Amino acid sequence: MNDPTPAQLPEHPRLNRLFRLQWEEVQQAYVLLYPEGMVRLNLSAAEILKRCDGEHTITQLITELEQAFGESDLRDPILGMLRMAFEKDWIQ
């Protein structure tokens, strides 16, 4: 099995302080707020970002999400979302 924490991702991802994750009643969705705007998130992305608290390791995050969704083999899609979030500077 490959290393679950690719080198470019932080071992303990945390939401960038410039962003705020919250439920937006009007949107009926979680959103990521930042000074220039807002990103509407799907449920999966929101569940991943909720766990980017600086405490969870990527391995813990994957395990929790697989249990929460009753799925196995979510590693690749979760890592893909984390890579995208890291590239967009949503997580550090």
| Statement: residue 38 has pLDDT above 80 | yes
Q: Are 14 and 53 in contact (CB under 8 A)?
A: yes
Distance in angstroms (rounded) separating the CA atoms of residues 14 and 66: 20
- Say what the pLDDT of residue 4 is: 45
Contact criterion met (CB below 8 Å) for 30 and 21: yes
Tell me what pLDDT residue 40 has: 96
Q: How many domains does the chain have?
A: 1
DSSP-assigned letter for residue 26: T
pTM above 0.85, yes or no: yes
HSE-CB at 69 with a 13 A cutoff on CA atoms is: 16
Which of the four pLDDT bands, split at 50, 70 and 90, describes residue 6? low
Q: What is the pLDDT of residue 32?
A: 97
- The domain that holds 47 is classified in CATH as 1.10.10.1150
Assigned domain for 8 exists: no
Q: What range defines the domain where residue 45 resides?
A: 20-87
Whether residue 61 is predicted with pLDDT greater than 60 in this model: the reply is yes
Q: Is 5 part of any domain?
A: no
> Which of helix, strand or coil describes residue 46?
helix
Q: How confident is residue 91, by pLDDT bands cut at 50, 70 and 90?
A: very high
Tell me whether residue 59 is in a domain: yes
3-state class of 17 per DSSP? coil
